[in-house]
Amino acid sequence: MEEEPLVSVIIPIYNVENYIVRCLKSIQSQTYKNFECIIINDGSTDNSAEIAEKFIQPDKRFKVIHQINKGLGGARNSGLENALGEYVCFIDSDDWVVMDFLKILISSIVESNADIVGCNMILYFEDGHEKINSWNHSATGKDGIINIPEIFKALFEYHITWNKIYKKKLFSEIRFPEKLYFEDFATTYKLSFVTKKLVFIDEPLYYYFQREDSIIHTFSEKKLMDKFLIFTDMEKFLTGKIENDKEFLRFVYLSNIILKNCKEITYSNIKFQEKISLLDLNKKATNAKLFNFKNILNTKELNIYWKIVLLSYLKSSKLTYYILKLKPY
């Protein structure tokens, strides 16, 4: 009987003492047994590391690596550098997975000889209610296989790192940026150029915990500038790699910087909270009631550069693209 391949599960932790046990229990109870779990303590200042150390003592498949704070990207890099498995997956420390998470994903990636297999997720809210993620299947072909160039679009739209299993060799020359917000956003699209086959499983196997104080639910100007830096790097990376790159880059800038920053900006403004909950940000920004001249100018959290960017989009998407290329840093 052929030996089951080793999977390296990488879990960065930073000040998650209230959540880490739930996450680790979900790994320990996996029906697929041939895994190692690498916990990267990224300079926690609470009891996260001590709790993790105590939890894993009886189980040799788990180990904790301690390092100075390098951010989520730096922690994931440390996990990759210490991973022994042929396959790797990433799980955030406040999330958890179903018992068959590894079994289903590893079976699929081995049987299909895919480079990446992703799954659907369950959004779990602090009040205890759950919602299965509504996934867009428009880029998915027969049997869930996504081929080039659809791979790029699929990975880019769903740039999250943690609901997938990967062949570790994909990361031989790819790493996450350190101390940068949206580190998965800065990395996942690069995988499209080394990925030949991607499979999506429409089963909710991953619990994505919706914390109000999480990175995605809080606003700062650094987030906006980090995203700008990511797209600047993306432009350099993509140049010459895809056909009609000018038009595609324009799509990239508009759909991700503008719309997602618009969401972050408006969510940060308390007086818009009630109305924002009714806003469908997947529609064109020009159709969004709150995305207008007055609201942009009155958003105190924005510096003048980002106000110009957002205001320009009201007038001309082409103008916005060139303003974004000014690189004000």
Q: Does residue 284 share a domain with residue 173?
A: no
Q: What per-residue confidence (pLDDT) applies to 61?
A: 96
- CA nearest neighbour of 234 among 253, 210, 262, 211: 253
270 within domain boundaries? yes
329 within domain boundaries? no
pTM: 0.74
Q: Return all residues near 131 (Cβ < 8 A) that are at least 6 apart.
A: 122, 123, 125
What is the C-alpha radius of gyration for the chain, rounded to an integer number of angstroms? 20
Q: Does residue 263 share a domain with residue 157?
A: no
Q: Does residue 224 share a domain with residue 205?
A: no
Q: Does residue 276 share a domain with residue 170?
A: no
Question: What is the distance between the alpha carbons of residues 21 and 59, in angstroms, rounded to a whole number?
Answer: 14
pLDDT bracket for residue 153 (50, 70, 90): low
Q: What per-residue confidence (pLDDT) applies to 79?
A: 97
Q: What per-residue confidence (pLDDT) applies to 88?
A: 98
Q: Does residue 288 share a domain with residue 246?
A: yes
Q: Is the pLDDT of residue 165 over 60?
A: yes
Q: Is the pLDDT of residue 43 over 60?
A: yes
Rounded to 5 degrees, φ, ψ at 327 are 50, 80
Q: What per-residue confidence (pLDDT) applies to 78?
A: 97
Instruction: Provide the number of structural domains found in the chain.
Output: 2
Q: What per-residue confidence (pLDDT) applies to 185?
A: 80
127 within domain boundaries? yes
Q: Does residue 224 share a domain with residue 204?
A: no
| Mean pLDDT along residues 146-167 | 66
Q: Does residue 147 share a domain with residue 279?
A: no
Q: Is the pLDDT of residue 217 over 50?
A: no
2 within domain boundaries? no
Token pair 């390092």 is found at 67
Question: What is the distance between the alpha carbons of residues 51 and 184, in angstroms, rounded to a whole number?
Answer: 27
Lowest mean pLDDT among 36-40, 111-115, 137-141, 188-192: 137-141
Q: Return all residues near 221 (Cβ < 8 A) that are at least 6 apart.
A: 301, 302, 303, 306
Q: Does residue 183 share a domain with residue 97?
A: yes
| Mean pLDDT along residues 151-156 | 51
CA 139 to chain centre: 18
Quote the DSSP letter at residue 171. G
Q: Is the pLDDT of residue 146 over 60?
A: no
Question: What is the distance between the alpha carbons of residues 205 and 214, in angstroms, rounded to a whole number?
Answer: 21
Chosen domain end from 143, 178, 210: 210
Lowest mean pLDDT among 157-161, 166-170, 291-295: 291-295
Question: What is the distance between the alpha carbons of residues 245 and 76, in angstroms, rounded to a whole number?
Answer: 30
> Between vectors from CA 105 to CA 96 and to CA 13, what angle results, nearest 5°?
30
Q: What per-residue confidence (pLDDT) applies to 128?
A: 80
Please give the sequence-ordered ranges of beta strands (E in DSSP) within the chain, or none if there are none: 7-13, 35-42, 62-67, 87-90, 96-97, 116-125, 130-132, 145-146, 164-167, 198-210
- 268: exposed, middle or buried (C-beta count within 10 Å: 0-12, 13-18, 19+)? buried
CB 109 within 8 A of CB 199: yes
pLDDT bracket for residue 188 (50, 70, 90): confident
Output 132 or 112, whichever has higher pLDDT: 112
Q: What per-residue confidence (pLDDT) applies to 3?
A: 82
Q: Which domain holds residue 278?
A: 219-324
Rounded to 5 degrees, φ, ψ at 115 are -90, -30
Q: Does residue 148 share a domain with residue 185?
A: yes
Q: Does residue 168 share a domain with residue 42?
A: yes
| Mean pLDDT along residues 93-102 | 96
Q: What per-residue confidence (pLDDT) applies to 283?
A: 36
Chosen domain end from 186, 210, 234: 210
Chosen domain end from 156, 184, 210: 210
Question: What is the distance between the alpha carbons of residues 300 and 313, in angstroms, rounded to a whole number?
Answer: 19
| Mean pLDDT along residues 72-78 | 96
Q: What per-residue confidence (pLDDT) applies to 46?
A: 95
- Percent of the chain with pLDDT strictly greater than 90: 39
Q: Does residue 151 share a domain with residue 131?
A: yes
Output 179 or 96, whichever has higher pLDDT: 96
Cis ω on the peptide bond leading into residue 149 (within 30° of 0)?
yes
pLDDT bracket for residue 279 (50, 70, 90): very low
Report the mean per-residue pLDDT for the chain.
Answer: 75
Q: Does residue 186 share a domain with residue 73?
A: yes
Q: What per-residue confidence (pLDDT) applies to 301?
A: 56
